[in-house]
Amino acid sequence: IMKRCIIIGASSGLGRGLAELLLSDGWMLGIAARRTERLEEIQNKSPQQVIAQKLDVTKPEATQQLRQLIEKLGGMDLFIYSVGIGKRNPDLEEETEMATMTTNVMGFTRTIGEAYRYFATQGSGHIVSISSVAGTKGLGTVPAYSASKALQKTYIEALEQLANKRGLRISFTDIRPGFVSTEILVGDDYPMLMTIPHATRCIWKAIRRKRHVAIIDWRWNIFTRLWALIPRCIWRRIKL
């Protein structure tokens, strides 16, 4: 029996890279995003393995659309959330901050919650959240982005505890990549920038091993461990 995975945010970046890896590994895929034309490109390459659906995590109907996609796929064993926006906003422009929070907090909570409820009814499953190392500390140039990523890792940690309390066989993997060469980083210089193929291979390896937390890649693992040790009295004076 082919295993079934749904990827939210599969139209580009890490979500698309993971979709291609899972297809080559023989998975049945339900892929969703706002841009359906990009989803159709993936579906047309593997029509027997892929079901595509338009889904905007910022809209209330996203939960119903996710449930419909699960039904079309015939069930779900693995859920991957790979949606996120964020850009440098040192002037704290309101529209940018609120758009980031709407997607990274409201959209995340809405769809992760629906996946959890489905797996709770089923009794088992695997939820994967692709967040960011930006949630390690509050970053002055990207306040909403770093705060939203901190929320995501805390939310997954809370759901993991809740599932264990209820005796549910739900696995959770919190993926925290460093900077990856995706569309949202175009136009800026970022250190230790990873390619999408490299990052997705590392992510898929962590998912297969059912890692609880995986920082992508080893360089960022070292960096964030040191980063987390910096006391607040020093952190607030660092210019990033």
User: Cβ contacts of residue 187 below 8 Å, gap of 6+?
Assistant: none
Task: Kindly list the catalytic residues.
Answer: 145
Q: Are 220 and 178 in contact (CB under 8 A)?
A: yes
Residue that has been written with the tokens 């980063």 in this structure: 227
With beta carbons less than 8 A apart as the criterion, state whether 145 and 86 touch.
yes
Between the two ends of the chain, the Cα-to-Cα distance in Å is 49
Structural element, H or E, at residue 124? strand 124-130
